[in-house]
Amino acid sequence: MAVKAEIVSKDTIKPSSPTPDHLRDFKISLLDQLAPPSFYIPILLFYSASDINAFDSDFETISHKLKASLSHVLTLYYQFCGRLKGNSIIECNNEGVLFIESRVPIELSNIFEAPQLHDITELFPFDPYNPGTEHKENMAVQLNQFTCGGIAVGACFSHKVADGSTAALFLNAWASTSNGKGNNVVAPPQMAEATLLFPPRNIEVDMMTRGMVGHKNIVTKRFMFNETNISRLRQKLGCCNFNPTRVEAVTALVWKSSLAAAKATSGEQRFPASMMSHAVNIRSRMASMLSKHSIGNLWQQAVSPLVEVKGEVGLHDLVEIVRNTIRKIDGDYISKLQSVEFVKVIESLKEARTMASKKGIPCYSFSSWIRFGFYELDFGWGKPSYVRTIGVPIKNVVILMSTKDGNGIEAWVTLATHDMVEFERNPELLDFASFDPI
Contact 10, 125 (CB under 8 A): no
Say how far apart CA 391 and CA 118 lie, in whole Å.
Answer: 7
Say how far apart CA 225 and CA 435 lie, in whole Å.
Answer: 9
Which positions ≥6 away from 122 have C-beta within 8 Å? Answer: 2, 3, 4, 5, 102, 104
In the set 32, 72, 118, 378, the catalytic residue is 378
Closest by CA to 79, choosing from 142, 154, 11, 162, is: 162
- Name the β-bridge partners of 387: 45
In the residue annotation, 163 being an active-site residue is answered as no
Which positions ≥6 away from 381 have C-beta within 8 Å? Answer: 47, 51, 52, 54, 55, 57, 62
Say how far apart CA 349 and CA 207 lie, in whole Å.
Answer: 8
- Give the H/E segment covering residue 435: strand 434-435
Say how far apart CA 418 and CA 438 lie, in whole Å.
Answer: 15
Core vs surface per residue 256-276: b (16+ CB within 10 A) or e: bbbbbbbbbbeeeeebbebbb
- Give the H/E segment covering residue 252: helix 246-266
> What long-range pairs does 341-344 form, CB within 8 A, spacing at least 24?
342/30, 342/201
Which segments of 232-384 are extended strands (E)? 275-281, 299-303, 363-368
Q: Which amino acid is at 434?
A: S
Closest by CA to 55, choosing from 180, 182, 183, is: 180
pLDDT in tens, the chain (438 residues): 578 899 999 999 999 999 999 989 999 999 999 888 789 999 999 999 998 988 878 899 999 999 999 999 999 999 999 999 888 899 999 999 999 999 999 999 888 876 655 578 999 999 999 998 888 899 999 999 999 999 999 999 999 999 999 999 999 999 999 998 766 667 788 888 889 889 888 776 555 544 455 567 899 999 999 999 999 999 998 766 788 999 999 999 999 999 999 999 988 888 889 999 999 999 888 766 677 888 999 999 999 999 988 878 889 999 999 999 999 999 889 988 888 888 888 887 777 777 776 678 899 999 999 999 999 999 999 999 999 998 888 999 999 999 999 999 999 999 999 999 999 999 999 999 998 655
- Strand 40-47 versus strand 386-388 pairing type: antiparallel
In the set 159, 163, 278, 419, the catalytic residue is 159
In the residue annotation, 215 being an active-site residue is answered as no
